[in-house]
A and B are shown apart, each in its own frame.
Chain A
Amino acid sequence: MNEESLPLPEFTKVKYRTWQLDQMNPSQAQSATSHFLTDELGIEVSGTATSYYYLPKYLVAQGVLLTNINTAQSRYPQQLDKLLGQVIANNTDRLTAQNAQKFNTGILLYVPDHTVIKDVIHLNLNQLSVGGNDYIARVLVYVGRQSSVTILQSAHTIGSDTTKVSLVVEVIADVGASVHYANLDAFSGKTTAYIHREADIRDHATLDWSNVAFNDGQVVTKLVSHLNGEGAVSHANIMAMTHHKQTQGFMTNMVNRGRHSLGHIYQRGVILNHSTLVFNGIGQIIKGAKGSDAQQESRVLMLSRRARGDANPLLLIDENDVTAGHAASVGRVDENQMYYLMSRGLSEKLARELVIRGFMGNVLAEIPTNRAQQAVINAIAEKLKNEN
């Protein structure tokens, strides 16, 4: 397969060709230092090496696998084959092909059938931005029949080189599975990134995304739910904040193929300074997906006159017996909320911070741990500090 001959993925209204996301060299950097996890259930991978690991014995006994993807290649080829390239075909576009060919780090999580995991599973990826090379990672998640998990996947940059990231995530929610996949993407201002997550959701399975995009650099993010099964359900809740001169562009896609499937997209974005935020949402109902439902709501707050925001909803419907709808808006801070908070003595600055937090409140509330919620709250305050 000639990678070069494939097209770049489509991110409507996002000019990203000059970012050269198709020209990456994987970094070999690794570190034994963990930066985020201390006693949580989960794994932290720094560069190509595992720097933190904790999976309780009872889960090991139930057959749960959680490993660095490099270990998986040698020790669990069977589980790997079940996932790798199965949700996202390797030749989908130039960037997925590049990731498939060059990834040299990542995580495999395999949850067998009938396994209910109450604790949040942390998947932490640290890009080690040293030596100028790029970070190319793959995350694979399989959740078996009637199993239930909550995943909190975080991605950070350690180091200050100017580099690129390619992160591709494939998730399978098998029959009757229930998956909450929350991610906190926080790559640095010197990292230009391509992030792509895609899920295969089978009969009566649910997969809910809580996608928090708090990167500081140029980023395109693609998120796709394939509602393949009858009664498959997916909510994609997205919150993003852009500042300085960065651009973050999204392509969020729900594909209803199964009968009575439901796909809802809910996006909230806040744009500061000279930055750009683009939300593209596509609700696609395939012929035969009778009784299915496709909805989307995208709202963008512009806090600066120099900011650029776009919310483009699209419905592609090829079946009559369905329900679908969309709403989109680009607006400014709610004056009545500001007034209410200030009438209690809060400064304009604090009131603004709270109103902005409130604007993204639906997504914030769904973030699975208090610690992660607090991290997002702090990140909001931090970005507002640089506002002008």
Chain B
Amino acid sequence: MTTLQIKNLHVAVSGKEILKGVNLTVHTGEMHAIMGPNGTGKSTLSQAIMGHPAYQVTSGSITLDGQDLSEMAVDERARAGLFLAMQYPSEIQGVTNAEFMRAAINARRPESDQMSIMTFLKTLDRQREFLSMTSEMAERYLNEGFSGGEKKRNEILQMMMIQPKIAILDEIDSGLDIDALKVVSRGVNHMRSDNFGTLMITHYQRLLDYIVPDFVHVMMGGKIVKTGTADLAKKLELEGYAGLRDELGLDIVLTDEDADRLVAVKHE
């Protein structure tokens, strides 16, 4: 079993504190979901775990099986078993999707045991078909000109090829049409095993109908303020973040506080 442990994590971006003491433990075999209002620090948490240079850990710790991640470069963290499906994946021209994925797989293998092109292509074809992606996508340049939904699907394809121990999926459902959402969910569920854990960031309860989480965490104001089961997501959908905040007696200002009232007014 592999464990990702986050203890009292504080993270700053350009000198501004965004995460203010996050505690979270993810074991392989578990599915976690994080929900929370815009700008509350969900992506910041995922970038800090992966080691994006712009996000400084000011106190607290992140460890993977006891090993302190702060001492590891981004690529070392990835090779240790972490994966981040990004909210906004980069585009890189001149490098094909297939070449990139093979390089990623081979980066995890010793020089003397590199995956052959044939084996790679076979695996790629299988996973690609599983995600209903055309063979043309593999030969296209990495994310270049991909639609929003295609990029998300491609992130999941990479995850399935790389087979990480713990995957963080940042809004993997945003921009997906209903069918694509099912396909992507199928990919994630296919990975589900005792050797795989995930931390899904989402805004929509809908995703959690397809990928049923073991735990749902709510993040507000740079902290996890409540943890529950899948039911917590359903409750949030009904009551909104303001309801939960008031219930917990938290002193946090929400930008879209009046959203419900606005919708109501419009319908009048």
A contact set with B: CB distance below 8 Å? 334-337, 339-348, 350-351, 354-355, 357-362, 364-365
Contacts and interface: CB of A to CB of B under 8 A. Distances in A.
Q: Chain B interface residue count: which class? A: 20 to 34
Contacts of A337: 90, 92
Contact of B93 (A341, A344, A365): A365
Contacts of A359: 93-94
A350 B86 CA distance: 20
B78 A336 contact: no
A361 B140 CA distance: 12
B93 A362 contact: yes
A38 B23 CA distance: 64
Given A339-B52, A341-B100, A361-B141, A346 B93 contact: no
Contacts of B86: 340, 343
B79 interface: yes
B166 interface: no
Contact of A342 (B74, B93, B95, B162): B74
B107 interface: yes
A354 B95 contact: yes
Contacts of A336: 90
Contacts of B93: 358-359, 361-362, 365
Nearest to B74: A342
Contact of B158 (A344, A355, A361): A344
Interface of B: 50-53, 73-75, 77-79, 83-84, 86, 89-90, 92-95, 100, 103-104, 107-108, 141-142, 144, 158, 162
Contact of A348 (B75, B89, B103): B75
B28 to A, nearest CB: 18
Contact of A340 (B51, B89, B162): B89
B94 A340 contact: no
Contact of B92 (A343, A347, A348, A355): A355
B53 A335 contact: yes
Contacts of B107: 344-347, 350
B84 to A, nearest CB: 5
Given A350-B103, A361-B141, A343 B74 contact: yes
5 contacts: A339-B74, A345-B104, A358-B95, A358-B142, A365-B141
Nearest to A349: B75
B230 to A, nearest CB: 29
Contacts of B144: 361
A358 B144 CA distance: 10
A343 B100 CA distance: 12
Given A339-B52, A343-B50, A350-B107, A361 B94 contact: yes
Nearest to A350: B103
